Amino acid sequence: MVLGGESADGTGRALSGKDAAMDGALSALYGAGKERGSGAGRSAGLGASAPSVARWLGDIRTYFPSTVVQVMQRDAIDRLGLSALLLEPEMLEAVEADVHLVGTLLSLNKVMPETTRETARAVVRKVVQDIEKRLATRTRATLTGALDRSARISRPRHRDIDWDRTIRANLKNYLPEHGTVVPERLIGYGRATRSVKKEVVLCIDQSGSMAASVVYASVFGAVLASMRSIATRLVVFDTAVVDLTDQLDDPVDVLFGTQLGGGTDINRALAYCQSRITRPADTVVVLISDLYEGGIRDEMLKRVAAMKASGVQFVALLALSDEGAPAYDREHAAALAALGAPAFACTPDLFPEVMAAAIEKRPIPVPDKDLPGTRLM
């Protein structure tokens, strides 16, 4: 689509009606950026006026689809420094809520006035509920299947035999003259139990660049915690370590317990997680970080090696989001790969399959084999 503007922008045609309004909404954001950067261009802009920003938010929601609105909101916050206006309740009610907006709100959490806090929590809860609705059912189904498969036994008791799978596995032994299958190998499940089968530790880097990952990981943490057969621990870190496991029944509480920004000490966070592992052979540790380590690099790698040697399944996610390939420390990713620990970016839709593979101790489905430092376990 080509829009005109002042002097028709070289198109020879002036705009009117809806086209002019759309062009004005775009100019207010992108024309203002051009003006500041080059000293020339359109004079439109949002400034720092809450009323004008509120009107602009209404305009873009009228003229553009929600996916475009979310991109434009993100650009407005980044280009025009509108974060402070999000501290006003009426502004929050006007925006299109998405994961990136939640990240921005969490970064403002410590300076947020009480008059805005409840509105902010409502916005965050809406996004969290949308994510849960999209991912929770499939996550539970995928991991329940993985837990059942990991509990299969090769010499089951008669009442524990999975006859359907046993017959299919032994069809080559069918005896037509007798009309029966002679099973050479029985397939079954362990006896049903309410006890914990696996332990999962989500260790989340809360530096500013990991905002979307923190949101998704918190939701997944709450979903995992709702499954009786998985004991879930959620730990967030910067240069300090905070265990938010006791808040996992409400991912919104988890998110408002984080503090985006600050330094990074992966080694300290892994030391804490390692100290809480009691059943290494039944434990999966998921480190969600861009791997820019501010702590002791060699100690961090030694901890990963020690955990893997003890039987822990270790996965490093460079990002847990819908975005493209993230910026990350390639040297550390390659070092983890050399230890047999995959390091890769993961979309939320793929996360259940990644966790299922880790639970069953089979190769992790790395989505992008061309990322340096990635490799199958």
Per residue in 217-268, pLDDT tens? 999 999 999 998 999 999 999 999 999 999 999 999 999 999 887 789 999 9
Q: What angle, rounded to 10 degrees, do the helices at 351-360 and 211-225 form? A: 50
User: What is the average per-residue pLDDT within 305-326?
Assistant: 91
User: What is the average per-residue pLDDT within 272-280?
Assistant: 96
Per residue in 79-107, pLDDT tens? 766 676 677 777 777 778 888 888 888 88
β pairing state of 313-320 and 152-153: unpaired
Kindly provide the b/e burial profile for residues 326-342, where b requires at least 16 CB atoms within 10 angstroms of the residue's own CB: bebbeebbebbbebebb
pLDDT band at 294 (very low <50, low <70, confident <90, very high): confident
User: What is the average per-residue pLDDT within 183-203?
Assistant: 75
| pTM greater than the 0.85 cutoff | no
CA nearest 188: which of 157, 143, 167? 157
Q: Using alpha carbons only, how large is the chain's radius of gyration in Å?
A: 26
